[in-house]
Amino acid sequence: MKLAAKARTRIWGVVSVGLKVALAGALCIHFTELALAQDDDDGSSNGASRTPNIYLDMRTAYANVSAGSLPIGFGNSALITALPSLAPSGGQSLSTTPGSLTLPAAQAVVVDLPMTVDVTDSVSLYAGVSASSTSTSETGWSPVAITSWNIGFQADLYQQNGGSIPTVTWQSTITQTIPNGPLATTTFNNTFEFGYALNKDETRGLLAGVQDVHVEVGSSLAAIHPSIIGYVGGYYQWPNNWKFTGRVGVQTFGGAQILNLAHVQSFTEPVVRFDLDRMDDNDNRLFGLTAEIMWVPKPAFELTLRTPLYFVRN
């Protein structure tokens, strides 16, 4: 009976994830159709502008995390999927006293390879895999392996276009661990951001947003509670197409429990992120560098190098 219940739970989990992926895909198609219809209505589009950008949005991230912490922050979901596998560590037996283990201090290198299509200026679709390697003082660096896949979209629900109402952007990503074992996680990352341009060229402006990260674990023996970030920020783009963006926020995390042995405390702490990007004349990213510091509750940091490889660029 227990095995049957576990099977039903896993089947329902797979069905639930499938439904959510299908919903995300349907929303992507819906927003794409709206954007193309808007182009047809105003007559502003042409054959060149309709040709989508197609590129491998390669991102290489390094993170350093203190003991007992999970580095959710502004969100590289691949890190969230990679680090829970570190517990229990050091060969501890599952008979250890509940709550006595602590996630070790760790380093991680993650390479994200999402194939991205900028369908229009306001809609992007992406899907790909992530490879990672983690290290602790006890284990050393693990072999590099593909540890997750992801699918998602980014869409402008409304564009300011010189008006008084800010641009509203929704980005949604689903990340699933590989392989799909007992502690497999599915991460749902949703960000809603408001951008208010201060000039006609939209080279400087203000930002405000909220990010919600929800993690489902494939076993009832582990749980990672939601993380919510509220933030404000701004951006400035120089005439030479270098762009700086800063975000400062507060993260509230509900904590985590792994195998009834390792506990991660809940907290409400600050988080900051800085982006430096090199753009071309059509606002396509050529190069990007991101630095993030998150208190979880001790400081942790993440550096990300973004080097998109274009197959088609307009």
Instruction: Say whether pLDDT at 19 is over 90.
Output: no
DSSP category for residue 162:
T
Better-predicted residue by pLDDT, 47 or 101: 101
pLDDT tens figures, 92-138? 433 444 445 667 788 889 999 999 999 988 999 999 999 988 888 77
CA distance 80 to 157: 28
pLDDT of residue 90: 39
Output the average pLDDT for the chain.
Answer: 80
* Positive/negative CA dihedral, 314, 174, 81, 268: positive
CA distance 79 to 107: 10
Surface-to-core class of residue 238, CB atoms within 10 Å of its CB (0-12 exposed, 13-18 middle, 19+ buried): exposed
Instruction: Say whether pLDDT at 45 is over 80.
Output: no
Residue 192: domain span: 2-312
pLDDT tens figures, 142-195? 888 898 999 999 999 999 998 999 999 999 999 998 877 667 888 999 999 999
CB atoms within 10 A of CB 43: 7
Total domains in the fold of the chain: 1
For the record, the structure tokens of 237 come out as 């783009």
Instruction: Say whether pLDDT at 238 is over 70.
Output: yes
pLDDT tens figures, 259-302? 666 678 889 999 999 999 999 998 999 999 999 999 988 888 89
Confidence grade of residue 240 (pLDDT, cut at 50, 70, 90): very high
Calculate the alpha carbon distances from 127 to 24, 33, 131, 225, 259 in Å.
Answer: 12, 19, 14, 25, 31
Query: Are 287 and 277 a contacting pair, CB within 8 Å?
Result: yes
pLDDT of residue 35: 46
CATH code of the domain covering residue 223 = 2.40.230
Strands (E) across 19-105 are located at 53-65
Q: Whole-prediction pTM value? A: 0.80
